[in-house]
Structure formats: C-alpha cells, structure tokens
C-alpha cells in the first residue's frame, strides 16, 4: 500500500500537532491546517509529504478553501478535526462574536467539510473522519456555556454524519476526551480554575494528565480502525 493522505486541522499545537506528527512520521502525507502559518511551516519543514494551509476555520467559506487545498493530495484516507479554541466566560459575559466563532470552527466547519467529502466522493476506500468533542459537552463545567454548546453541536453532527457516510465507505468517529495537557488547557482552566477545582480535576487523573501525544495515539488508532469510537 502506498502512502495515504490526511487532512489535520488544528495542526499548529496540542492534539492536532501531535496527530500530524504521528501521521507524517510514518510516511503518510498530510495537509496541515491552522491559523498560525509559522508553526505549520516549522512542523512541515521536517516532512517532505506535508503541505500547509493557514486558514481561519471560523470564517465563511473555510471548508471550500480546505477542500481546494486537499484536492492536490488526491483521495483522502482521513480527516481529523482538532482545530478549535475555548473562550471561557460566565454565561452573562459571553461575547457573541466569540460564540459565533466557536460554533463555526467546532461544528460548522466539519459539517461543511464532511459535506464536501460526501459530495465529491474524494476519499480513498475505508477513509475515516475523527471529530473532536470534549467531556465538557455533557458536563456542567462553569464557564463553558459557549464551548459546551459548540461541542454539543459537533456531537449532533457526528451522529448524522456517521449514518450518512457509512454507506459511502467513510467511517466517522467521535473522540471526546476529558482534560488533556495542551496549550489550550494551560490558557483556560489551568489558569483560571480555583485550587479546589483543579484538585477535583486532577483527582480524575491519578497518573497525571494525558499528554497531547497520548490523545493523538488514541485518535490515530481510531483512524486506522483499531479502536471503536
């Protein structure tokens, strides 16, 4: 079997970067998508089969832009959507522009991109897509109203997309971790949670927080069909 082609969003840091590294390190090709071009370029520089696209996935038309860039890679073996951000705030302080962008990047973008995948049938046999959600989607974590709403939306997408794409030979999986040690975690709950809240969270991770690469290993196993989602 020759090298397979993937698209990984959120590849500039955290889980997305770790997924991209695993895929590229085993000799597959990947389009790396994120906002920060310098980080993407640094990652891609070590891998000849990497392509980059600096793109804000919350912007209108983002799925079309990614689709155009992906076309150059040939039939896709996989789509991993790690891109996203959190803008924690009490519900009364949520900024509408931030909330719109959260819905757009977490749920609207993968909805439109999976639609392109289904429409153009531009995928390899046995292709898979992994959508990333979070335990936050179903837990009452203070400050996460907008983020949890957006992740709830991607969970809704997962159910329908899996059903519609299965007959086309595309597996859609959902990866919904609890806390992972990433820049996003450090900038959000690790910075703002009270010591009591942090102790509660860490009590659920007696061996320490999973690393981004730990999460990436689970995602790649899902992509390869080695795990049920």
Partner 1 sequence: MGVTDPMREFLDRVAEVLEVPEIGASDDFRAVPMWGSLMGFGLIVMIGQKYGRKVSAADIIAARTVSDLASLAGVAG
Residue (49 or 98) nearer to partner 1, CB: 98
> Coil, strand, or helix at residue 91?
helix
DSSP 93: G
6 is catalytic: no
147, 158, 175, 189: the active-site residue = 147
Neighbouring residues of 155: CB distance < 8 A, sequence distance ≥ 6 = 133, 137, 174, 176
Q: Which of residues 136-155 bind partner 1 (CB under 8 A)?
A: 142-143
Number of residues engaging partner 1 in binding (CB under 8 A): 15
Among the listed ranges 12-20, 52-60, 148-156, 185-193, the one in contact with partner 1 (CB under 8 A) is 185-193
How far is the CA of 166 from the CAs of 35, 88, 162, 172, in angstroms?
31, 35, 6, 8
Residue (94 or 174) nearer to partner 1, CB: 94
Residue (109 or 189) nearer to partner 1, CB: 189
- Show the site string, 59-78: x = touches partner 1 by CB under 8 A, - = not: --------------------
The DSSP bridge pattern shows strands 76-81 and 123-132 to be parallel
- In 3-state terms, the chain is what percent helix, strand and coil (to 5)? 50, 20, 30
Q: What is the 3-state secondary structure (H, E, C) of 46-81?
A: CCCCEEEEECCCCCCCHHHHHHHHHHCCCCEEEEEE
Q: How many CB atoms lie within 10 A of CB 229?
A: 16
On the CB side of 132, CA atoms within 13 Å amount to 27
Rounded least distance, CB 173 to partner 1, Å? 33
Tokens representing 204 are 């659920």
- Show the site string, 76-105: x = touches partner 1 by CB under 8 A, - = not: ------------xxx--x-x----------
Q: Among 38, 119, 191, 208, which residue interacts with partner 1 (rule: CB under 8 A)?
A: 191
Q: Among 61, 125, 194, 203, which residue interacts with partner 1 (rule: CB under 8 A)?
A: 194
- The answer to the question of residue 206 lying near partner 1 (CB under 8 A) is no
**Active centre residues (catalytic):** 147
Judged by the rule CB under 8 A, the positions of this chain that interact with partner 1 are 88-90, 93, 95, 142-143, 187, 191-197
């Amino acid at each position: 079997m020759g090298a397979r082609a993937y698209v990984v969003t959120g590849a500039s840091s955290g889980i997305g970067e770790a997924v991209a590294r695993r895929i590229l390190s085993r000799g597959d090709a990947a389009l790396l998508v994120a906002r920060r071009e310098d980080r993407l370029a640094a990652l891609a520089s070590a891998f000849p089969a990497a392509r980059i696209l600096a793109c804000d996935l919350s912007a209108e038309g983002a799925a079309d832009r990614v689709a155009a860039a992906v076309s150059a890679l040939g039939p896709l073996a996989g789509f991993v959507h790690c891109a996203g951000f959190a803008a924690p705030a009490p519900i009364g302080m949520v900024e509408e522009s931030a909330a719109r962008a959260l819905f757009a990047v977490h749920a609207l973008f993968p909805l439109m991109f999976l639609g392109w995948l289904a429409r153009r049938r531009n995928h390899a046999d046995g292709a898979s897509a992994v959508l990333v959600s979070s335990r936050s989607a179903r837990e009452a974590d203070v400050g996460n109203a907008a983020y949890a709403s957006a992740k709830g939306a991607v969970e809704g997408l997962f159910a329908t997309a899996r059903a519609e794409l299965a007959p086309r030979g595309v597996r859609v999986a959902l990866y919904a971790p609890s806390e992972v040690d990433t820049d996003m975690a450090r900038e959000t709950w690790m910075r703002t949670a009270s010591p009591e809240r942090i102790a509660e969270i860490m009590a659920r991770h007696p061996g320490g927080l999973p690393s981004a690469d730990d999460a990436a290993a689970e995602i790649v196993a899902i992509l390869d069909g080695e795990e049920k989602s």
